[in-house]
Amino acid sequence: MKQKILEILKTGNIKFASYNDMVLFFAGKFTKTPKEVGALLKAMLSRGEIFEDKKGQYKVADKNYIKGKIAGTTKGYAFLMPLDKNLPDFFISKHYLKGALDGDLVLAKIVSFTEDSTECQVVSVLENANTKVVGTITYINKKDALVVPDNKKLDIEIFVPQKLTKNAKNNQRVVVQITKRNNKRVSGEVVEVLGASDDIYSLELGIIREHRLYETFPSSVQEEAEKIPQKVTNIFGRVDLRNKKIFTIDGADARDFDDAVSIEKQGEFYILGVHIADVGEYVKVGSNLDEEAYTRGTSVYFPNMVLPMLPVQLSNGICSLNENQDRYTLSVEMKINKDGIVVEHKIYESVIKSCHRLTYDEAYDVICGKHIDKLSDIEQDLITMNELSKIIEKRRTQNGALDLDIPESEIAVDENFNVTFLSKRERNDAHKLIENFMIIANETVAKHFCEQNIPFVYRVHEKPVQEKVASVCSFLEGLGVVIPKLKVISPKYIQKLLELTKDKEYSEVANKVILRSLQKARYLDENLGHFGLSLENYCHFTSPIRRYPDLCIHRIIKQCLHSKLTKSQKEQLSDFVLDASFRSSEAEKNADEAERDVDDLFKAVYIKNYIGETFEGIISGVTNYGFYVQLENTVEGLVKIEDLPQDNYLYFEKSLKLKGNSHIYSLGDKVKVKVVNVNLSERKVDFVLSK
């Protein structure tokens, strides 16, 4: 029926007075009920297969139309980021947005697609990303108030009747539910008051709400979690590993423990056990817990709080591999030879009792030869693990795996929202050990199920496009690096670029430029391999407490361990992994943005205490309006072009330089800067050059 509807609409011979008129016409045409036809037409409209034009007529979206997300700007115009990653971004004039806002999913008509110009016009908003907006309230009279969005890319003001303000006061940050939206006016009602506009917690909550995240769970989910027993009572059908030396290694501030490890030597072979919390035993398909986990997609980590994917009864309780507690696990046991190759493997349901909860620092101390009394029983295990980790790492490097050593920020915040510590996060051999073990376990699981042709959620990372790699090469040549000729884009070629910049003063900046040229890893139901890890098979299996795709994979594994999948079950599974992959990718992107925004907020809070002081830094970004400088403590700020020494500056995009007659500023240059201004609400830091 859908195909016939499209064929009829393509002719353009039939005009409908209204949407209901169209529904009735097709209901009569195909002898279906208006309800059936209406459901199909609404689905076709929401998918962007058909749309309503300016004259109120319904048309088919042909090859001249594209779907994508709106990227707003503070200037009013916007860009379309196509869902088809092979297409470039398209410019959209303010007059052709059709009410679409930053983040909205839209259908747009291409009006220009040349080498010099890509432009489109929005014809339909398919998915509104801004049903709730965070902003500051201002009363304009006794009857009405205005809310100005925190997100400056939303070029709107929201009118709120006084009776719908939830008694919010002037200059308070609020969450507004939009009730009416068109080109002329946006109206709404306040659904949550976050606090004073200059309060740090209010600013953090504003970021959290902007990303549609919440600290608490719905009552139905919480009630379900509270009914789950907090002790393991039945181990029937599981391999009992409670007498084995199995332990966890995590950060000092970790609260949920997904993974534990074990090691044995058999001649020249290593028997590595990676034991992962069996969350699927407790979070069943179709339960309230499962639906909430699917919606959240991932846990989100901030310096002062965690928004878990699952309630604490599971994330910190029965699912977490806590020390000296019996726990259900899914184990991957791998027999690995001296070259780091898995020659045999087993995947099975198990029960473990972690004998130690180690921090990375403790594990590293033991690896380095320090004796710790309480860890004396596993000293040799840790030394053997480090030995195996080095072997795995060597093989990964030989295969072309990329080691983009870009440090993360470590931020400590006290109960008064003061930043007490800010620095680059340390990464030592204990971190690498766990990283190497998780990667080889993920690879083994992915390969196992790919070979069995079972529907699966893969972690894929496609190779970068030629133009972006060429641009990186051009930039590195500008730094004086002798670049090998680009014949084929491969992990080993990118690895070579990293080696050429290693230990140089600009190495961290070069790593960032290379990282930006790579595609974003995502979840997919198709196995496309992982470019960055240089692997043909890869998935995320090792963190089901905090990532939904891992939980999804666990369910597939458990289902296959207990019975052979029927054709019907495979078809159902195919549909689910497709949806779960897309949803998990979107949730991950949203969480990454939220974490980055909150980190930037607390960095701004920290550096505000140092206004007027001078720091050394490296130019980390160059634009036509100035350049960004990153300090050693990871704070980044802008030096505006108008604050530079007087000169005629030109911006060279390919080489990332600002050139004047007497001054040149390039990416990677060391500079001294003074902190002159900090805007907490916009999370922006301003520097000026200092002598």
Comparing 656 with 450, the larger pLDDT belongs to 450
pLDDT > 80? residue 182: no
Strands 144-149 and 158-161: antiparallel
**Whole-Å CA distances, 362 to 295, 435, 542:** 36, 16, 22
Predicted local confidence at residue 14, as pLDDT: 86
Average per-residue pLDDT for the chain: 94
CB 642 within 8 A of CB 660: no
Position 183 confidence tier, pLDDT thresholds 50, 70, 90:
low
Strands 342-353 and 239-240: parallel
pLDDT tens, residue by residue, 277-312:
999 999 999 999 999 999 999 999 999 999 999 999
Q: What is the mean pLDDT of residues 461-466?
A: 93
3-state SS, one letter per residue, for 21-35: HHHHHHHHHCCCCHH
Strands (E), 199-322: 239-240, 247-250, 259-266, 269-277, 300-302, 305-307
pLDDT > 80? residue 184: no
d(CA 47, CA 53): 16
d(CA 328, CA 149): 46
Whole-angstrom distance between the N-terminal and C-terminal Cα of the chain? 73
Q: What is the mean pLDDT of residues 8-17?
A: 87
pLDDT > 80? residue 490: yes
Q: Residues with Cβ < 8 Å from 101, sequence gap 6 or more?
A: 70, 72, 128, 129, 130, 154, 155, 156
Single-letter amino acid, residue 191: V
Predicted local confidence at residue 243, as pLDDT: 96
What percentage of residues in the chain have a pLDDT greater than 70? 100
Query: CA 61, 67, 68 angle in degrees (round to 5)?
Result: 165
pLDDT > 90? residue 359: yes
Helices (H) and strands (E) in the chain, counts: 15, 33
What order do you get walking across the sheet with 664-666 strand by strand? 650-652, 657-659, 664-666
Strands 132-139 and 158-161: unpaired
pLDDT > 80? residue 405: no
Question: pTM for this one?
Answer: 0.90
Position 56 confidence tier, pLDDT thresholds 50, 70, 90:
confident
What percentage of residues in the chain have a pLDDT greater than 90? 83
Buried b / exposed e across 193-203, counting CB within 10 Å, b at 16+?
bbbebebbebb
pLDDT tens, residue by residue, 254-269:
889 999 999 999 999 9
Q: What is the mean pLDDT of residues 492-513?
A: 90
Q: What is the mean pLDDT of residues 589-594?
A: 96
| Least confident among 79-88, 504-513, 661-670 | 504-513
pLDDT tens, residue by residue, 522-564:
999 999 999 999 999 999 999 999 999 999 999 999 999 999 8
